[in-house]
């Protein structure tokens, strides 16, 4: 297994920890390559200052520390991935057929009121459209 940057640069980690760069130290535990850590911090070139920090040649800037803090906070807040479930064939529920029938009745003028009364006496629900 490949060692993390924290394990690869123990002297650099002591240097950074002594200078209040705990975010960078903690973040280095999650990466094995300087370039990947640089990209996670928002550097779009090959690792940028990450290698210098790890060797104890320079210190990270406040924005870099804040980026590391944001990355760590997002990682902590992210829920663990759910395990992949084995596929189970679900049986579909039987389709229920309606108990009633929908009828459309067209009535002319004054016969509509009588038709509604007759349908209501038969227990039908009447909806006017």
Q: What is the pLDDT of residues 100-111, one digit of tens each?
A: 777 788 888 788
Kindly report the backbone phi and psi dihedral angles of residue 62, in degrees, each rounded to the nearest multiple of 5, phi listed first: -60, -40
Q: What is the pLDDT of residue 86?
A: 66
Rounded to 10°, the helix 34-41/62-77 angle is 90
Q: How far apart are alpha carbons 78 and 28 in whole angstroms?
A: 18
- Whether the CB-CB separation of 47 and 35 falls below 8 Å is answered with yes
Which of the pair, 79 or 7, is modelled with greater confidence?
7
Q: For residue 115, what are the contacts with CB-CB under 8 A and spacing of at least 6? A: 105, 107
pLDDT at 80: 63
CB atoms within 10 A of CB 68: 23
What digits encode the pLDDT tens for the residues 36-84?
Answer: 888 888 887 655 688 889 888 999 999 989 999 999 988 876 666 667 6
The structure tokens 């229920």 sit at 96
């Amino acid at each position: 297994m490949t060692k993390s940057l924290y394990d690869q640069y123990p002297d650099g980690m002591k240097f950074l920890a002594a200078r209040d760069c705990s975010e960078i130290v903690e973040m280095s535990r999650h990466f094995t390559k300087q370039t990947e850590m640089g990209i996670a911090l928002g550097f779009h070139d090959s690792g940028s200052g990450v290698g210098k920090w790890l060797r104890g040649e320079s210190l990270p800037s406040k924005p870099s520390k804040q980026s590391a803090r944001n990355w760590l906070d997002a990682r902590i807040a992210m829920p663990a991935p759910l395990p992949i479930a084995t596929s189970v064939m679900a049986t579909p529920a039987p389709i229920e057929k309606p108990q009633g029938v929908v009828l459309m009745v067209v009535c002319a003028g004054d016969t509509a009121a009588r038709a509604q009364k007759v349908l209501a006496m038969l227990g039908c629900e009447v909806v006017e459209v």
